[in-house]
Structure 1
Amino acid sequence: MFADRAKIFIKSGKGGDGHVSFRRELYVPAGGPDGGNGGNGGNIIFEIDDGLNTLTDFRHVRKYIAKDGEQGGKKRCSGASADDLIIKVPEGTVIKEFESGKVIADMSGDNRREIILQGGRGGLGNMNYATSTMQAPKYAQPGQPGQELWVQLELKVIADVGLVGFPNVGKSTLLSRVSNARPKVANYHFTTLNPHLGVVDLDGGGFVMADIPGLIEGASQGVGLGFDFLRHIERTKVLVHVVDAASTEGRDPVEDIKAINAELENYNPQLLERPQIIAANKIDSIYQAEGEENPIERLKKIFEPEGIPVYPISGVTGQGIKELLYAVHGKLQTVDQAPVIFEKEFDTAALRNMESLPYTVERTEDNIFVVEGPRIEKMLGYTNLESEKGFVFFQNFLKENGILEELEKAGIGEGDTVRMYGLEFDYYK
């Protein structure tokens, strides 16, 4: 089954802890510190694989966790850094932060490989902390934690031209006639379920055309597979409305175009700013009764004043297709040739920036001051409070982040108790 969306959990590796040890050699009665550094945790990297064209694999594996770095060792031996975890995706995959929907990366164009989550840095061993006044440090730095995130993967096909229209209007037939694409062509009233890409070769240059699965009214509200289908239109530069000009199934081509443009506007108003062309299909089946208005002339009268040209074609006989293709090629020359790339909106590096994380200071009825929040939890996660250096870091953290000032505003006094995630301290200024 074609899959163009998946939700997965990713987590980079934790850095290895630094080691505490001292030289123990013959004739060296007071050997100095020789604890090695920890290795870095593995990164989470996304990479384009040209052999993939769906996100089906992510239906079976939903968690991707990189390995942790090794701890440091004795004799200044550093722990090994973990291998990066590389996740292969098809070109056109957009990676979004799941909760906010903000774009982390667009794996398209020149962006073929990107580090999404950095592994935690390895901690320094005690050999790094020896000074003239502290020649035998008994502490080392713990490794930084890895980063973790739920992300949404969305595959948006990369094509210059998108064929849009209701089911069974002849989009697949048109694409199979003008390109190397071979979609299944039949009288399917539901719709084609997955987009097909085809390369159109012309004397003046070629372009990529996509048969966007048939839309239905309500698609922009997610009715049916609406969101899945509309997603693929976002990268296209020119939209070609394919309509059944002969109304072989009783559909009104004018109302079809208006309905689809309404769905496009509801989903993303910018889509209506792109050039549009109408391919009035099935002219070989038009039977005009005496006194009735010609359906092609009706389409031209309504839409050409709006700047949307109408080209009568027959996907079966090939009539008018050459003129349509050269008109599409001409439209493409009037738009920006750069590929449509979605800009980064969410920087995962901010996950390491604790200053952006919140915290709260509250005073309980029994006069205990409770400090908690993601910023505090993250700091405590990689701070060794049992070591001298770790406790100094902890005190500086409270001061530099304004936490001591907040405690004083809350009315804390000498000897009062501060509680942080199960840890309790007495406050002294």
Structure 2
Amino acid sequence: MKFVDEATIDIAAGHGGAGCASFRREKFIPFGGPDGGDGGRGGSVWAVADRNLNTLIDYRYARRHEAKNGESGRGADCFGAAGPDITLRMPVGTIITDLETGRVLAELIEPDVPVLIAKGGDGGFGNLHFKSSTNRAPRQKTPGWPGEAYKVKLELRVLADVGLLGMPNAGKSTLITAISNARPKVADYPFTTLHPNLGVVRVAPEKSFVVADIPGLIEGASEGAGLGHQFLRHLQRTRLLLHIVDLAPFDDAVDPVQQAKAIVEELRKYDEELHAKPRWLVLNKLDMVPEDERAKRVKDFVKRYKWKGPVFEISALAREGLQPLIHAIWEHVVAQSRPPMPEPDPRFDAPGEAEAGE
């Protein structure tokens, strides 16, 4: 299935039905009085996150979604039927934005929780609604209220705990294949990955986290080089970024330090908040470096890159150094997901502490 993470659609809720102006007319009942019912409300448009969906391809071609109008009221105290609601199922992590105002209508984070996008119009009042002691034969009625209508943009940002960042052919797809159940395409040419891939990493039977692999980023992506910045939005919900660096490039003239600096600069150009996220350095393809040169090459890279954060030395292909990396990621994700500790309230100090203070 083709991966689609953006779509523009039109949604329209149903209009409310008009009220009815009617009078009861039966044999032997000369003063039947008003009996016109109210109109039914129009159908609303709801959105719900479905964990079984991972693309917006259904909305690339179906661009118009309308709910039905409510029925008009009728005589004999008959109220119009309400129009049925419609529910749009979208992937978890979808953001729904009004194109005209830029206002975010909904952000689908929790699965199977319906969110109202466009409210249906209320039904109009029939003349039965206006009956009173001073107005016994009302002829007033009101039309139904219009339903809400929007032109919205759907933007999918995948929900992942960890995001993989790096140049093409740095080994991101090989790494996610080695540590998770994801099976992305792996080949010996750049831009093998053309859309994000998600993988679940099992640390223990009840301990896991989600990793997102996006297409490689190159220098000049902000000007449209390569695949540009179009997939970096999928890293904005992550708690940690892993910067994958190829320490054994095919071309000896390629400097891994300059490539790493270019990636970070492109990240800063795209979003300062994304650039400020916690980022770890993962030096990959150490199996291609002779054992007696590994320590020297790693030390030289860290020194020239001027990196002071965590550094992990791995070989995704040979499955070397992966377990320390996985456990460190798990501990970081758990620490980030814990709620902050509340500040102690001095009014509820222990009795012994209060007496000692006195």
**SS of equivalent to 1:175:** helix
8 Å contact 1:220–1:264 — kept in the other structure?
A: no
- Once the two structures are superposed, what CA deviation does each residue of 1:145-172 show, in whole Å capped at 9, x if it has no partner? 0111011111111110001111111100
Give the C-alpha shift of residue 265 in structure 1.
Answer: 1.6
Give the C-alpha shift of residue 306 in structure 1.
Answer: 4.5
Q: Distance in 2 between matches of 1:105 and 1:9?
A: 15
Alignment CA distance shift 1:258-1:116 (3 Å): same
8 Å contact 1:277–1:328 — kept in the other structure?
A: no
8 Å contact 2:49–2:110 — kept in the other structure?
A: no
1:332 alignment partner in structure 2 = 333
Give the C-alpha shift of residue 295 in structure 1.
Answer: 3.0
- Once the two structures are superposed, what CA deviation does each residue of 1:187-209 show, in whole Å capped at 9, x if it has no partner? 23234111111111224932111
1:349 alignment partner in structure 2 = none
2:164 alignment partner in structure 1 = 163
1:251 alignment partner in structure 2 = 254
Amino-acid identity (%): 45
Residue identity opposite 2:78 in structure 1: C
Give the C-alpha shift of residue 266 in structure 1.
Answer: 1.8
Residue identity opposite 2:233 in structure 1: R
Q: How does 1:292-307 map to 2 (within 5 A)?
A: 294-302=296-304, 306-307=307-308
CA RMSD of aligned residues (A): 2.3
Aligned residue among 233, 236, 239 for 1:234:
236
1:196 alignment partner in structure 2 = 197
Residue identity opposite 2:42 in structure 1: G
Q: Distance in 2 between matches of 1:225 and 1:99?
A: 28
Q: How does 1:274-353 map to 2 (within 5 A)?
A: 274-286=277-289, 294-302=296-304, 306-337=307-338
Alignment CA distance shift 1:119-1:48 (3 Å): same
1:98 alignment partner in structure 2 = 99
Residue identity opposite 1:286 in structure 2: V
Give the C-alpha shift of residue 326 in structure 1.
Answer: 2.2
Q: How does 1:200-215 map to 2 (within 5 A)?
A: 200-203=201-204, 205-215=207-217
- Once the two structures are superposed, what CA deviation does each residue of 1:109-154 show, in whole Å capped at 9, x if it has no partner? 3673101111000111110102222221112111100111011111
Q: Distance in 1 between matches of 2:218 and 2:101?
A: 27
Residue identity opposite 1:123 in structure 2: G
- Once the two structures are superposed, what CA deviation does each residue of 1:345-367 show, in whole Å capped at 9, x if it has no partner? xxxxxxxxxxxxxxxxxxxxxxx
Q: How does 1:97-116 map to 2 (within 5 A)?
A: 97-109=98-110, 112-116=113-117
Q: Distance in 1 between matches of 2:113 and 2:31?
A: 54
Residue identity opposite 1:70 in structure 2: E
8 Å contact 1:13–1:42 — kept in the other structure?
A: yes
> Is 1:34–2:35 an aligned residue pair?
yes
- Once the two structures are superposed, what CA deviation does each residue of 1:12-41 show, in whole Å capped at 9, x if it has no partner? 000001111111111122321111010010
TM-score w.r.t. length of structure 2: 0.87
Residue identity opposite 2:60 in structure 1: R
Aligned residue among 265, 268, 271 for 1:265:
268
Alignment CA distance shift 1:337-1:97 (3 Å): farther
TM-score w.r.t. length of structure 1: 0.73
**SS of equivalent to 2:211:** strand
The range that moved more, 15-24 or 274-283, is 274-283
8 Å contact 1:53–1:91 — kept in the other structure?
A: yes
8 Å contact 1:94–1:105 — kept in the other structure?
A: yes
Residue identity opposite 2:48 in structure 1: E
**SS of equivalent to 1:335:** helix
Q: How does 1:361-376 map to 2 (within 5 A)?
A: none
Give the C-alpha shift of residue 224 in structure 1.
Answer: 4.8
8 Å contact 1:48–1:107 — kept in the other structure?
A: yes
Residue identity opposite 2:135 in structure 1: M
8 Å contact 2:50–2:111 — kept in the other structure?
A: no
In structure 2, runs of 5+ residues without a counterpart are 340-358
Aligned residues: 336
Q: Distance in 2 between matches of 1:134 and 1:69?
A: 28
2:342 alignment partner in structure 1 = none
8 Å contact 2:191–2:215 — kept in the other structure?
A: no
In structure 1, runs of 5+ residues without a counterpart are 339-429
8 Å contact 1:16–1:72 — kept in the other structure?
A: yes
Q: Distance in 1 between matches of 2:116 and 2:146?
A: 17
Q: How does 1:174-185 map to 2 (within 5 A)?
A: 174-185=175-186
